[in-house]
Amino acid sequence: MSRDNLQGNASREEAAQIKNRGAVVAGQGEPPAAFMMKVDLHCHSEASHDCITPITAIPQQCQTEGIWVQAITDHDQIWGAQQLQALVQNEALPYLTVIVGEEISTAEGEIIGLFLQQKIEPGLTPEETVRQIKAQNGLVLLPHGFDPLKRHRLQPAARERIKEAIDIIETFNARISRPHWNRVAVTWCEEHDTLMSAGSDAHRLVDIGAAWVEVPRQPITGPADLLRALEGGVPVGNWTHPVQAFFLKTWERWRRRLAPRHQER
């Protein structure tokens, strides 16, 4: 099912497809699609060491893909998200809300903090990382946490220790090694009554919009707004095999490096 074909009231066949991808259908009775919006809570910019997506290009891509709320969660940095947020505010772009986030490298794997004002240093324990997120009134999101092939996933023992502090679990990651691990995350959320989200985990501009949570249209001005919106959300996405994603990202890097040379000739 293409992204453009998703409707607020999913048919039985569509619902089955969404569940098979590791997402969850919120149920019947949602408002029509015209009153819905897309929220992506995991995305990277040029502020990440492994991404070259220009910050200035992100608003147009979000508009093209219909993303209304975009969290920028760079590796151990927040300056990219802060710059994009300022850009959106200065240019008065009403179609886009930017959440300042950070994918934090703890001593036992990655944790995302949302609605941050200050960068959280890498290398801390998961418990201390969570404490610092909460001290900023931020939200704790666990990304791709159930995929054993994700080198920097949060270790299961650490997840158990901080489970009471986790606000959101990413149940659809578009760059997971197998869709099966998204479904494992869904099961964990259902067992622990935790809110679910989706993230494109985009490291290329064109990958923004690969995954999102579809929620009723509403302003997202802070953590409480986001949590309330996710209660009625439908995580959806398009999975790409990680090998394909790696080669596409590598090609994008080389293409951009070679472009100036071609222009000089």
pLDDT of residue 249: 56
Q: 15-29, 86-100, 234-248: which range is least confident on average?
A: 15-29
**Phi-psi category of residue 10: left, alpha or beta, with phi > 0 → left and psi -120 to 50 → alpha:** beta
Answer yes or no: is pLDDT of 122 > 60. yes
User: Which whole number is the average pLDDT over 202-229?
Assistant: 95
Q: What are the E-state strand segments in the chain?
A: 36-40, 67-75, 97-106, 109-114, 139-142, 168-173, 195-199, 211-216, 234-237
Write down the pTM of the prediction: 0.83
Q: Higher model confidence: residue 151 or residue 156?
A: 156
Answer yes or no: is pLDDT of 15 > 90. no
- Name the superfamily (CATH) of residues 3-256: Metal-dependent hydrolases (3.20.20.140)
Length of the chain, in residues? 265
Answer yes or no: is pLDDT of 259 > 90. no
Answer yes or no: is pLDDT of 215 > 80. yes
Answer yes or no: is pLDDT of 159 > 60. yes
Q: What is the spatial distance between Cα 28 and Cα 214, in angstroms, rounded to a whole number? A: 14
